[in-house]
């Protein structure tokens, strides 16, 4: 028998009693497995290995149990310290009845857990299994319906991957935010995982039973934003619905309202949002009645709100109302130590049930040299392209990564007219046939500047309409315009 158990008298079972019971439990079960305190497999018997279709039991020792049994609940037992005495576990096409027990060291600390397969043939349990299947189908149907309404969450704090100091600090603040029913402001570049943390805060909070409603302010036309936020009263304007149309605040009642890209909110709506947060009430469009709301607001932006306040493009009173607890999410280039573990997590998602693909240490080192302007979203894209182009389904090496890794991002160029040095260099490099060839970056920057000025002139300096005319978002337009000044 493996030396698995170090039990503490305060937890009821002595080591001597466990050593007597374990051989009987193992013999009577259809399989047994044990994990250490890190949820890595420390022992498995041949019967369980046979159930899982494993030819070599030694090959899985030391591996995380969820890399072998994806839906294992052993980590839950380790985290809670409580046994799961009866559970139906689905593995591929099998349904196994399992019991799971934690065990402790002499100081009473959890040092591992063990699981026994009580039944691998569910025929004697047909009535119970039928009821379980019905409940499981009802649960899946409810989840699908919730997903269609967009009111549920998909992410938990464990989905924000990283063990660097910066990532751990972001997660620590997310836990603080979850414990307090206050507004939260998430600051970070695009692709850093702002929505993951926003959903995590909601999931961990006392409002987790309520709806989570997200709205991307950069994606909604300015003239529709007020109706989207506060709803529309019946017959508020010609052609309006005869029924009340609820806004995002009403949909989020009792839950969380996530305002993504809040820096793109127009000034007029900022004032109305501030009043809604202060008074905890809203007034639907076309209505004279106020509606009380109970909503927790989480806002996020990739913009520099301090600079926007200085320019008068973001209200300082709204900023201080939203920024009760601030969470700065570091860009990937500032937490390169997390790239390896991120690759493991992202590849598991990319493989999506197919045979797992690994990545070599040299390939991770190559990825760590990139600046990742698109952050985790860009890393996911690179790994997905590498997986698609890989000749070997088992390993991603440096050659595969190098083929799909973007070229290093160059610093943005200033407009051509503000770069006499560039023009001078271009003239010096002329081929002598009378042509005036300039660097491509300078030509593109000049063309972009001309397009922005022409759009502003056509739209009477209305920046929102100019951005729409150019086919870019307001945030991108403002960033490009700032580089022209």
**Cβ atoms within 10 Å, residue 331:** 18
Which helix (H) or strand (E) segment is 101 a member of? strand 94-104
In this structure, the answer to whether residues 437 and 398 fall within a common structural domain is no
Q: How far apart are CA 303 and CA 308, in angstroms?
A: 8
Cβ atoms 5, 22 nearer than 8 A: yes
Regarding whether 397 and 276 lie in a shared domain, the answer is no
**Number of neighbouring beta carbons within 10 Å of residue 203:** 19
Domain boundary among 357, 372, 404: 404
For residue 391, how far is the Cα from the chain centroid? 30
C-beta separation of 97 from 118 below 8 A:
yes
Is the distance from CB of 254 to CB of 294 less than 8 angstroms?
Answer: yes
Task: Give the span between the Cα atoms of 178 and 30, in whole angstroms.
Answer: 42
Domain boundary among 404, 433, 467: 404
Distance of alpha carbon 48 from alpha carbon 57, whole angstroms: 9
* CATH code, domain carrying 357: 1.10.8.60
First CA to last CA distance, the chain = 75
Predicted local distance difference test score (pLDDT) of residue 394: 76
Eight-state DSSP code of residue 244 = -
For 177-222, what is the HEC assignment? HHHCCCCEEEECCCCCCHHHHHHHHHHHCCCCCCCEEEEEHHHCCH
- The model's pTM is 0.56
Residue 145 lies in a domain: no
Which of these three, 378, 404, 430, is where a domain ends? 404
Radius of gyration of the chain (CA): 29
Query: Over its length of 485 residues, how does the chain's per-residue pLDDT go in tens digits?
Result: 444 444 444 343 445 556 677 777 777 778 889 899 899 999 888 888 888 888 878 888 999 998 888 888 999 988 888 888 888 787 776 778 888 888 887 777 888 888 888 876 655 555 665 666 677 667 666 655 555 555 567 888 888 988 888 999 999 999 999 999 999 999 999 999 999 999 999 999 999 889 999 999 888 887 788 888 888 887 555 555 566 788 899 999 999 999 999 999 988 889 989 999 999 998 888 777 888 999 999 999 999 999 999 989 999 999 999 999 999 999 999 999 899 889 988 888 888 767 778 888 888 999 999 999 999 999 999 999 988 887 666 788 888 898 888 876 443 443 333 344 444 444 444 444 545 566 666 777 788 888 888 888 888 777 777 877 887 777 677 767 777 76
- Residue for token pair 């493991």: 344
Contacts of 484 (CB under 8 A, 6+ apart): 415, 449, 452, 453
What is residue 376's predicted lDDT score, i.e. its pLDDT?
94
Give the pLDDT score at 188: 93
Task: Name the β-bridge partners of 35.
Answer: 41, 113
- 150 occurs within a structural domain: no
Domain shared by 176 and 304, yes or no: yes
Statement to judge: residues 213 and 173 lie in one domain: yes
Q: Are 182 and 296 in a shared domain?
A: yes
Residue 43's domain is classified under what CATH number?
3.30.450.20
Is 71 part of a structural domain of the chain?
yes
CATH number reported for the structural domain that contains residue 444 in this entry: 1.10.10.60
- Within this chain, do residues 203 and 96 fall inside the same structural domain, yes or no? no
Tell me, yes or no, whether 295 and 163 share the same domain: yes
Regarding whether 89 and 226 lie in a shared domain, the answer is: no
Domain presence at residue 58: yes
Query: Which residue in 226, 202, 205 sits closest to 214, CA to CA?
Result: 202
Same domain for 381 and 422? no
CA distance 230 to 243: 15
Q: Tell me the sheet residues that pair with 184.
A: 298, 325
At 446 the three-state DSSP class reads: helix
Q: How many residues belong to the chain?
A: 485
Which domain, by its residues, includes 390? 332-404
In a shared domain, residues 185 and 218:
yes
- The answer as to whether 411 is a domain residue is no
CA 185, 250, 206, 275 torsion-angle sign: positive
100 occurs within a structural domain: yes
316, 385: one domain: no
DSSP string, 63-99: SBHHHHSTT--HHHHHHH---EEEEEEEETTEEEEEE
Helices (H), 280-315: 305-310
Q: Which two tokens stand for residue 230?
A: 């506060």
Domain-embedded: residue 311:
yes
Which pLDDT score, from 0 to 100, does residue 472 have?
77
| Burial grade of 15 (CB within 10 A; 0-12, 13-18, 19 or more) | middle
State how far the Cα of 256 lies from the Cα of 371, in Å rounded to an integer: 34
**Spatial CA neighbour of 245 closest among 285, 277, 215:** 285
Question: Residue 136 falls within a domain, yes or no?
Answer: no
By three-state DSSP, how is residue 339 classified?
helix
Token pair belonging to 27: 């013999």
Cβ atoms within 10 Å of 234's Cβ, excluding its own: 13
Distance CA 29, CA 114 (A): 12
Into how many domains does the chain fold? 4
pLDDT at 443: 74
Residues 392 and 447 in one domain: no
């Amino acid at each position: 028998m493996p030396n698995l158990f170090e039990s503490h008298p305060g937890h009821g079972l002595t080591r001597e009693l466990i050593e007597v019971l374990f051989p009987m439990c193992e013999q009577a079960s259809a399989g047994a497995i044990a994990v250490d305190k890190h949820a890595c497999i420390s022992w498995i018997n041949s019967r369980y290995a046979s159930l899982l279709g494993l030819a070599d039991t030694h090959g899985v020792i030391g591996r995380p149990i969820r890399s072998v049994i994806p839906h294992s609940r052993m980590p839950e037992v380790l985290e809670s310290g409580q046994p799961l005495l009866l559970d139906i576990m689905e593995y591929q096409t099998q349904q196994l009845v399992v019991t799971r027990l934690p065990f402790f060291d002499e100081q009473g600390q959890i040092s591992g857990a063990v699981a026994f397969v009580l039944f691998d043939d569910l025929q004697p349990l047909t009535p119970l299994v039928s009821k379980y299947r019905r409940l499981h189908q009802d649960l899946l149907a409810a989840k699908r319906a919730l997903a269609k309404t967009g009111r549920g969450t998909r992410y938990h704090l464990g989905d924000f991957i990283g063990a660097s100091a910066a990532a751990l600090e972001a997660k620590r603040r997310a836990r603080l935010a979850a414990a307090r029913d206050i507004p939260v402001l998430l600051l970070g570049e695009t692709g850093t995982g702002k929505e993951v943390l926003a959903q995590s805060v909601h999931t961990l909070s006392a409002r987790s039973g309520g709806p989570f409603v997200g709205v991307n302010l950069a994606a909604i036309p300015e003239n529709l934003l007020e109706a989207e936020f506060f709803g529309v009263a019946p017959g508020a304007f010609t052609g309006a619905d005869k029924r009340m149309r609820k806004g995002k605040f009403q949909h989020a009642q009792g839950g969380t309202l996530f305002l993504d890209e809040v820096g793109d909110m127009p000034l007029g709506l900022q004032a109305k949002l501030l009043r809604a947060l202060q008074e905890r009430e809203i007034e639907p469009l076309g209505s004279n009645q106020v509606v009380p709301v109970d909503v927790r607001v989480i806002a996020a932006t990739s913009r520099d709100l301090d600079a926007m306040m200085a320019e008068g493009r973001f209200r300082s009173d709204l900023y201080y109302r939203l920024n009760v607890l601030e969470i700065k999410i570091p860009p990937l280039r500032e937490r390169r130590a997390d790239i390896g573990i991120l690759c493991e997590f992202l590849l598991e998602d990319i493989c999506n049930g197919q045979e797992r693909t690994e990545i070599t240490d040299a390939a991770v080192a190559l990825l760590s040299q990139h600046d990742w302007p698109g952050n985790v979203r860009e890393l996911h894209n690179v790994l997905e392209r590498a997986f698609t182009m890989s000749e070997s389904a088992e390993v991603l090496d440096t050659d595969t990564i190098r083929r799909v890794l973007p070229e290093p991002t160059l610093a943005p160029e200033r407009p051509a007219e503000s770069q006499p040095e560039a023009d001078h260099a271009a003239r010096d490099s002329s081929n002598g046939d009378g042509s005036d060839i300039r660097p491509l970056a300078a030509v593109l920057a000049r063309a972009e500047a001309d397009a922005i000025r022409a759009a502003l002139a056509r739209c009477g300096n209305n920046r929102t309409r100019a951005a729409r005319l150019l086919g870019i978002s307001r945030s991108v337009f403002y960033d490009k315009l700032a580089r022209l000044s």
